[in-house]
């Protein structure tokens, strides 16, 4: 699959996440925040993906490292693993995919340590110079490698932290002509996540849990030039409610709210800027300022919040049916889609999950996105 380098450089962390829109012929007329490394916020696992990309307050498995590491402190297993595969934008290309591996172990002192690897293979590109001549082919790749720790602060409250190294190599092993490899370098940084999880033991058929995660806390990154880019620092807040109908049947409902904690691009009225120029804002300043920097005030800030809702029916802890919905303001990206999925468990140790995405409108590059996840959880006696 061949594409033009110029298009890649404009949209690599943007259209690849299906978030750019054209409004009245203007690029980013909706003032959509535009960080790079957006693969960090893509749902890696099929369970949460099938529930509208909600996962901050769901029950624990190894994929908690992405959604809410603090959940690991509540696990009843002594070890867990997950392997996920997502063919990406298959309606447009046939060689782009995301891979995720995650795992954790519980020590004798009930401390939890984990690891994760996210790998985004963006496929083969053709580099084209301004005069239209080919400058060679290359394969863009991005990855993040992280370590995690979680512990309980009280019987109901737990805390989690991740530390990860992130690398974005847009030119891959490019060896062509035109000096592109001299002007475009890999971007790299170290980022942190911090999360909390609250699940108070209750008597009765309903159980409630709450989660909060601030992820991808880091400085700006650069691809070798003078321009520095924000990474997608994200605030996720959510809750889940589980109803145990009887010994065999269980229902879970969940909702997540997400907001990118990066500056909103300014508006221009009669040639004058309204808002803040992101180039003048530091990474930490962008996080705190992102709650009140939108030119249209609080109404625009609310539009930058995406909503994920999901439901799961579980039979005999062995078979699951899932569905969900994801909503984003038309002004801020216009991603709207339904999700569906199935899950199977064997011997309460191994699981296989599927998820499928159906956009609510026509022409979405995310249409027909499929995810596959393998899960394993090992009890102490089996170690």
- Give the whole-angstrom CA distance, residue 251 versus residue 322: 10
Closest CA to 317 of 209, 244, 210: 244
- Domains along the sequence of the chain with CATH: 5-382 (2.40.160.40)
pLDDT exceeds cutoff 80 at 181:
no
| pLDDT interval class at 197 (50, 70, 90) | very high
Span of 10-19, 139-148, 271-280 with lowest mean pLDDT: 10-19
Any residues with CB less than 8 A from the CB of 280 and at least 6 apart, and which?
Answer: none
pLDDT mean over 272-297: 89
Q: Tell me the pLDDT band of 206, cut-offs 50, 70 and 90.
A: very high
Burial string for 270-297 (b: 16+ CB within 10 Å, else e) reads: eeeeebbebeebebeebbebbeebbbee
**Comparing 14-18, 39-43, 224-228, 229-233, which segment has the lowest mean pLDDT?**
14-18
Mean pLDDT of 42-64: 98
pLDDT of residue 174: 61
Ranges 169-178, 246-255, 268-277, 338-347: which has the least confidence: 169-178
Query: Tens of pLDDT along 310-366?
Result: 999 999 999 999 999 999 999 999 999 999 999 999 988 899 999 999 998 887 888
How far is CA 297 from each of CA 39, 237, 258, 284, rounded to the nearest angstrom?
Answer: 28, 21, 18, 20
pLDDT at position 311: 99
* Region 35-54 average pLDDT: 97
- Nearest 5 degrees, angle CA 229-CA 231-CA 237? 145
**Geometric angle at alpha carbon 213, from 200 and 163, rounded to 5°:** 120
**Lowest mean pLDDT: which of 125-129, 168-172, 197-201?**
125-129
**What is the predicted pLDDT for the residue at 380?**
62
C-alpha 129/C-alpha 135 separation (Å) is 6
Q: Model-level pTM?
A: 0.89
Torsion of CA 201, 204, 205, 211, to 10 degrees: -30
């Amino acid at each position: 699959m061949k594409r033009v380098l110029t298009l890649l450089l404009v949209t690599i962390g943007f259209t690849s996440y299906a978030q750019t829109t054209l409004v009245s012929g203007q690029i980013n007329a909706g003032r959509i925040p535009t960080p790079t490394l957006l693969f960090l916020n893509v749902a890696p696992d099929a369970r949460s993906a099938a529930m509208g990309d909600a996962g901050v307050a769901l029950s624990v498995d190894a994929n908690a490292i992405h959604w809410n590491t603090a959940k690991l402190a509540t696990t009843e297993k002594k070890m867990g693993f997950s392997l996920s595969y997502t063919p990406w934008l298959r309606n447009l290309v046939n060689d782009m995919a995301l891979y995720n591996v995650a795992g954790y172990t519980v020590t004798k002192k009930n401390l939890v340590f984990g690891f994760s690897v996210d790998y985004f293979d963006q496929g083969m590109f053709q580099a084209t110079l301004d005069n239209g001549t080919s400058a060679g082919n290359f394969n863009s790749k991005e990855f993040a490698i992280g370590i995690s720790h979680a512990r309980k602060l009280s019987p109901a409250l737990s805390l989690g932290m991740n530390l990860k190294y992130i690398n974005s190599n847009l030119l891959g092993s490019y060896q062509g002509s035109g000096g592109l490899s001299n002007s475009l370098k890999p971007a790299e940084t170290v980022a942190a996540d911090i999360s909390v999880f609250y699940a108070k033991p209750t008597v009765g058929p309903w159980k409630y849990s709450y989660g909060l995660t601030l992820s991808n806390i880091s400085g700006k990154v650069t691809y070798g030039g003078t321009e520095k880019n924000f990474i997608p620092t994200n605030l996720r807040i959510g809750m889940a409610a589980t109803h145990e109908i009887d010994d065999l049947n269980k229902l879970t409902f969940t909702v997540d709210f997400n907001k990118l904690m990066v500056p909103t691009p300014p508006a221009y009225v009669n040639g004058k800027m309204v808002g803040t120029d992101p180039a003048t804002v530091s990474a930490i300043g962008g996080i705190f300022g992102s709650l009140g920097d939108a030119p249209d005030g609080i109404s625009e800030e609310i539009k930058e919040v995406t909503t994920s809702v999901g439901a799961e029916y579980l039979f005999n802890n062995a078979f699951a049916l899932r569905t969900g919905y994801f909503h984003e303001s038309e002004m801020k990206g216009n991603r709207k889609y339904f999700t569906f999925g199935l899950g199977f468990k064997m011997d309460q140790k191994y699981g296989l999950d599927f998820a499928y995405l159906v956009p609510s409108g026509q022409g979405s590059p995310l249409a027909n996105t499929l995810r596959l996840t393998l899960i394993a959880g090992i009890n102490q006696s089996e170690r």
